[in-house]
Every structure is written in C-alpha cells, then in structure tokens.
Amino acid sequence: MSDRHPAVLAEAFEMEIEHAAFGADQLVSGSPTSGWVPLNTIDGVEVGIWEMTPGVVTDTEADEVFCILAGAATVEFLDPPAPTLALRPGTLVRLHDGWRTRWSVTQTIRKIAVTPREDDKK
C-alpha cells in the first residue's frame, strides 16, 4: 500500500522516463534522447512530463504550455523568427502549432507540459 496521497499524480523529479533517440531528420548534433510520460487528461488536454538529454535537435511544435523543472537549454525560433529563449528552472513558455524550433540542451531538461491530447489535435 502506498503512502502517497491519492491527489498526488507523480513525483516530478523522481519518476523514471523511458527515452528514445531522435530521428535523423531532427538531429543536428550530439546523441540526445527524449521521453514523455502522460500524467492525466482533463477535457481533452493532456498534462505530462517531458525530458531531453544534451544535444541539438530541430522540431515542428504543437500547441503547448510548459514550465521547465530542471536543466538548461536554449530554444531558437526558426519560423517564425524570434529571439532565442534561454530555458532554466521556472521558465514558463507558450508554443504554437507549426512553429519551427531548434533545441540546444546543455543540461538534461525536464518540463511539465500541457497540450491538446493527440487524439484531439486537428
């Protein structure tokens, strides 16, 4: 029997996250991996924890709001162009569907993210 209160979904800093390598179409440098653990879905909105190890990748973003829990990185906005954003614990970010980005992770980052559930996108 667990001592954890039923309202606690997870220990954000302690939970294990299974990782996978990025595809060659996203990889810029290094050998970064990433993983996602969904925690809950509320009215079609998914809340989860995402993590990425050091390296550089490009991505096409989905609608998302996230807060960095740990680590250090930068996000360069390629399209539409915008100033590069430094990510550190406490940084709160809003991404929009279709934005092209380049993630440069120097210390493994872990974020809690809120995004439309995959089935509800479109």
Is residue 25 a part of any domain in this protein?
A: no
Neighbour tally for 66: CB within 10 Å = 20
Domain that holds residue 90: 34-120
100 located within any domain: yes
Flag whether 17 is in a domain: no
Q: For residue 29, is it within any domain?
A: no
Residue 56 · residue 102 · CB < 8 Å: yes
- The CATH number of the domain holding residue 89 is 2.60.120.10
The pLDDT confidence band at residue 3, using thresholds 50, 70 and 90, is: confident
Give dist(CA 53, CA 21) in Å, integer: 10
pLDDT tens sequence across 27-76: 999 999 999 999 999 999 999 999 999 999 999 999 999 999 999 999 99
First and final C-alpha spacing in the chain: 41
In a domain, 94, yes or no: yes
pLDDT of residue 5: 82
pTM of the model: 0.89
In a domain, 87, yes or no: yes
Please give the sequence-ordered ranges of beta strands (E in DSSP) within the chain, or none if there are none.
Answer: 20-21, 27-29, 33-42, 45-52, 55-60, 64-79, 81-87, 92-95, 100-116
Number of domains making up the chain: 1
Whole-number percent of the chain with pLDDT over 90? 83
